[in-house]
Amino acid sequence: MASGRNGAKVGIYPLSLNTAVVNHHLDQALNSPLFRNAERQSRFLRFVVDAALQSPPATIKEFDIAVAVYDRRTDYDPRTDPIVRVEAARLRARLREYYEVTPPENMRIDIPKGRYVPQFIPVEAKAVQGAPDLSILVPPIRSLSPDPDDQNFCDGLTEEVVHKLAQDQRLRVITQSAAAWLEHREGPKPRYLLEASLRRAGAEIRLTLHLMELTGGSTQFSNIYQGTTSDIFATQERLADEIRGDLSTALRIGAGGERIH
């Protein structure tokens, strides 16, 4: 499959879902608040999905999108106007956020980096039916000291923890930014809240962490982690690894993803 920086040539993915399912999923996405106010990106998404659903699937070039969606003329040159690449990056981010706040029930659309042909990825029923709800809201870790460097350390640690937790596909990790959307969305809220704060004395740091069930507010797990600020990145990585391991144990996730009772 060939792809170029300017999208001069893209490959075709085989369809593994029927057209009706894809169209229904697309309509749901485009009717969501995230897409309703983004008219061009909605058109972009519909254009590439429609092209991929054709039989045989159409090849989608950067030029085609520029003309059909962004009203560029036929002398459009992607080297001097990278609007499609700009918008593709933004569309990928919008899709990521959409699926973060609206977990897909049967499929999801993915537009791989460097290409414009969407992939339609079936979501296994096992992942949503009968599986335990392992959704965790992760707000920024708070620094209890007034030193802005400590808050920067906490920001980096938050990023690292989210990154480590998100690697476990059994967990649904929801960041603070996504939480704002959840407030306005009907449907299930995250089950757990991961709350942590940091104190520092000299080079010694102490991180207090609580995992709480949002409904009822009961604490599922609590721990204090220690470290130093001598090597910030190494400390952040080690703490994030420990937290991930502890949460896996606390949530009693079995090897197959089942929650052990």
Partner 1 sequence: MDSNTIRHLQESVALLPVGDLATVDEFYRRLFELAPETRPMFKIEMDQQAKKFSDMLAWVIAHLERPHELCQGLRELGARHSGYGVKVDQYAPVGSALNWMFQHTLGDRFTPEMEEAWLEFYAFATFEMERGSREAVPAGPSATLNSG
Per CB under 8 A, residues contacting partner 1 are 5, 37-41, 70, 79-83, 85-90, 92-94, 97, 140, 151-152, 154-156, 158-159, 177, 180
User: Smallest gap, in angstroms, from Cβ of residue 89 to partner 1?
Assistant: 4
Of the candidates 226, 176, 161, which has an alpha carbon nearest to the alpha carbon of residue 199?
A: 226
Alpha-carbon span 122 to 145, nearest angstrom: 47
**Smallest distance from partner 1 to CB 70, Å:** 7
Would you state the structure tokens that stand for residue 97, as one six-digit string? 């956020």
Nearest-5° angle of CA 163, CA 120, CA 104? 55
Residue 162 C-beta: closest distance to partner 1, Å? 11
Rounded CA-CA distance 3/100 in Å is: 28
The least CB distance from residue 226 to partner 1, in Å, is: 23
Q: Which helix (H) or strand (E) holds 195?
A: strand 192-201
Whose Cβ is closer to partner 1: residue 39's or residue 241's?
39
| Closer of 97 and 258 to partner 1 (Cβ) | 97
Nearest approach in angstroms of CB 225 to partner 1 is 20
The helix/strand/coil state of 224 is strand
Q: Which is nearer to partner 1, 159 or 168 (CB)?
A: 159
Q: Is 190 exposed, middle or buried (0-12, 13-18, 19+ CB in 10 A)?
A: buried
Choice between 156 and 257, CB closer to partner 1: 156
Cβ closest to partner 1, residue 158 vs residue 235: 158
From the CB of 255, what's the least distance to partner 1, in Å? Answer: 29
CA distance 261 to 244: 20
Angle at 240 between CA 149 and CA 244, to 5 degrees: 150
Which backbone phi and psi does 202 adopt, to 5 degrees? 65, -125
Nearer to partner 1, 22 or 88 (CB): 88
